[in-house]
Structure formats: C-alpha cells, structure tokens
Structure 1
C-alpha cells in the first residue's frame, strides 16, 4: 500500500466526521497525483524513443571532413556538395551564429553538449542543396528530424534578416551608375539590365555580374510575356516618380529613363530596347547581333542557377557587393503620387517615338564607338 493510502486510512480511523473524511481523502488523492506528475518530469516525450546520437563525434567528423585546415574533402568537393565555396559558407555560418542564439551551442537539461552551429547549418544546407527529407541528414550529421526542420526555418529567417538590407533590395543611385558604366563599356549606354521570362510564371531582370535585380512570380495559366509585363511591378516606382533620377546622352539626344534589353515580342516602350527582327544594312545587322549577344547574359545567369542551384552565392558573395544599400523590397502603403503626374510618367514609359529614337541612337552609337566588339 502506498504512503498516501496509509495516510488516508489512519486519518479515517481517528475521525468520525463524514465530511472531514471526504475532505481528507480528496487531499490525499491530490498529493498522490502531484507526486506522480513530478516523477514524469525530465523524462522523454511519450511514444518517442530516445536515441543516443553521439553529437560530439558527429561534429568532430563533420569539422574534419570540411572545415579543418587539412580537410578530408578539398575545395572542389566542398563546392560540389554545399553548392558554394568554403569562405562563403563560413561567412554565413559565423553570421547566423552571432545573430540568433538558437545556433549557439549550449548544454541541455541533461547536462549534455547540444548540437553545434555547424551541424544545424549543414543539415539545413543539405536539404536545400539536394532536396532530401529532414531525417536523411541524421546518419551523418547526427541531428533529429524535427531539429533539422527547425534549423532550416531558422536559417532562412536569419539570412533574410542579416543580408536583406544589402542584397534583397532594389538598385539605388550608386548601383544604377555602376550598371550604366557596364552598359556603356558594352556599347549600350543607359542600359540597366536584360529582361527575361524563362518560364511562364517568372519575370526577371539580371546584369552581367549575375545579380538578379528583379524577380516577379505570378500564377500559372494563360499568361505570356505581354500580360505578365502589364502585371509586373518593374516600372511601378518609375510611374510613381520614386525611381532614382538618371540622365544620359546618346548622339545629342537626352534621356531620363534607363532601359532593359528584351526580345521582339515585347511592346515598343521607351524603357525596352528590342532587337531588329529583319535588319537591313550593315549598321542594323550589327546592332541586332550585339543586342542578342548582350541579352545572353541573363540566360547565363539563369543557367548558373539551374545547373548548380547557386542562388545563395548569387545573393551573398563577399567579393561582389554594392555600397550604400538601398531600401528593402517590400510592399508600399504610402500615398501615391499625383494622378496627373502618374499618368504623365506612365505615358513616358510607353512612348513609342522615344523607343524608336533610342533604338536608332544605339544603332549609330554601336557602329561609331564599338564597330569590332561583336564581329
């Protein structure tokens, strides 16, 4: 008989009051229930089997394989398996560990050393890299399924919070100046990038250095380049008068809007420079060849993403950064510009005369200044 039951019996023998008996029995039952609950604290989750994974050994093996000064697997295998070079990986590793205490190694309630930041980040990157389920990383990294999932969610949030102000933003004035300089060197002064729609649900703008400056995802369906363009926010800031101011001159003509290279299906807007489908004469033939050659850069950018899935490196490459970062890309709830000004800007963007004049100026500029670049 348990101690609490003996206590109940003893009290009943010494008291003749039924009310007192009921009260004391209830109190004894409460004490017994509390005692059972206290015994369960510190145990494993009901229905879950405890697995001793030897986390310390898992960390040591992972460190020796990839992080040590003389790792088992060299730089080429590291890049192949993590889809980025080791310095970039270590930069992300250090940044997330300093940013979120979740990635800092600690001692758990059982006085055992917890998972290291290296193990949590590696598990998350393996899922991103290979698309494997969460428990597929357990055997090598020594990390449970639920912890892998949590690590993945945490690192995605941390990367956005750490690198968002620098990389997840629209181009500012300094960026535009750099893009203009790149465009001028290639024979296209005033060029901001190359507009491309690789699938029916994604519109994007990229530059030669593999920066993707604009990405617009839309629902699939009966969509093409034209109606995706009409839904796109690519020129929204320009229409609202909020885009950085630009000025450049080609063949004596002044322009106040940058442009993107695009293929022939797009409309004849002042902000789009298309190829010439059936060029006549040496100048126009040369322009068409140059425009199509430069436009290949955006296809190269997506070729890198599709073949090696190196999106993380494209976002946070320490050797390629733009100073004086602009504002984060986020929905704006500010009051829009005056309606008349908005309509005027909107009409400037869609001005066909400016489109054709700009194309003619670029034909002459290429022929006069870069006659041998695309031969």
Structure 2
C-alpha cells in the first residue's frame, strides 16, 4: 500500500513556515491604507503601480454601484429553481478559486505570493450563478494559500455565521434542508 500522507503543507515534503498573517495584514493596512498611513502617496504608487486616490476611487465605485451585491431573496429563489431543474436542488451558486499571475509583484513579497506553479500569484475567489453572474468576489490573497485557507478568510459565509443567511428550503431523498450550498470543485481534504 501507499504511504499515509503527512499533513501540514499543501504539497507533500514541503517545509512548513509558521507566519503571522493577521499581523502582516494589520501592518500593511497601517503602512498604506489607514487614514494616518505611514507611507505617502508617491510610495503607494511605486508599490502598487497606481495612485492611491485612483485605487480608492475604484473601491468606492465597486461598493457604491453594487457591482458585487449579494443576491436578493427572489433572485436566490430563481437560482434555486433553475439549479433544481438541472439536477442540483439547493445549490445557490458555483464557487471556485483561481490564481492570477502577478507579474509586477515586489521581489520582497515573492515568497508569500509564490503560487503552486512557482510564480507569484494572487487568488480570486468567486461565486457565480448559472447565467454567469458573479455575485461574490474576494481578491488579493497570496498564491501560497490553498482553497480551504481562502474560504477561511473569505467573507462569503459571514452572513451564515452571523445568522443573516437568506431563507431557503429544499428536499433531497425525503430530507428537508434549510440552507443552500455552493457547488465546489476540489475544496475538500483528502
């Protein structure tokens, strides 16, 4: 028989480094994004390849124009009807994580952002409906994360965890369920 896999890293045999990612995120916010940030706009532009006001304008437009708003109750019901007709009762969307290569990644960050193919990448987590409407996106985590790590940091399940999830009900094999699910590919431990 084969050897039992030793858990601890996403790739067998890779060395495991304990990193304080939460502290690193706090430091990043303090340096560049807080009202009283340490670095000035010219340093922001050099690091992120755009002016800080442009970056903040993009964020403002995305949030105020509801480009990525959560679906409303009637939209969830329509998605569930459509998915049930396709053989997926209770499915409210398809979720996946994709690696986007970061060609201009600062050399000091290469180790953290190194993806599974060796190049620096950022991860995009997205939820889409059958009509390819993307209604959730979470972008920017380092490529060194696997899908489970992304889900642990993502706000996609915040409403559920806070008791604010939309009401759904469906039946499978005579069992009644009150929470919808996302169809996922490969987001499970071996």
TM superposition score normalised by structure 2 = 0.52
Equivalent positions of 1:38-49 (< 5 A) are none
State yes or no: 1:227 paired with 2:149.
Answer: yes
* CA deviation vs aligned residue, 1:46-79 (integer Å, no higher than 9, x gap): xxxxxxxxxxxxxxxxxxxxxxxxxxxxxxxxxx
Shift of 1:183: 0.4
* CA deviation vs aligned residue, 1:110-168 (integer Å, no higher than 9, x gap): xxxxxxxxxxxxxxxxxxxxxxxxxxxxxxxxxxxxxxxx9x99x9689658x724x43
Aligned residue in 2 for 1:218: 140
Aligned residue in 2 for 1:164: 65
* CA deviation vs aligned residue, 1:240-281 (integer Å, no higher than 9, x gap): 10111111112210101101111234259xxxxxxxxxxxxx
Q: 2:75 aligns with which of 175, 182, 185?
A: 175
CA RMSD, 1 decimal:
2.8
Which segments of structure 1 move beyond 4 Å, counting only runs of 4 or more?
A: 155-161
Equivalent positions of 1:301-340 (< 5 A) are none
Q: Return the alpha-carbon distance in structure 2 between the equivalents of residues 188 and 205 of structure 1.
A: 16
* CA deviation vs aligned residue, 1:153-193 (integer Å, no higher than 9, x gap): 9x9689658x724x431112111101101101111011111
Q: How many positions carry a matched residue from both structures? A: 115
Q: 1:159 to 1:264 in 2, by over 3 A?
A: closer
- Report which of the two structures shows the higher radius of gyration computed on alpha carbons: 1
Aligned residue in 1 for 2:91: 191
Unaligned segments of structure 1, at least 5 residues: 1-149, 269-375
Equivalent positions of 1:1-375 (< 5 A) are 160=62, 164-165=65-66, 167-199=67-99, 200-267=122-189
Unaligned segments of structure 2, at least 5 residues: 1-52, 100-121
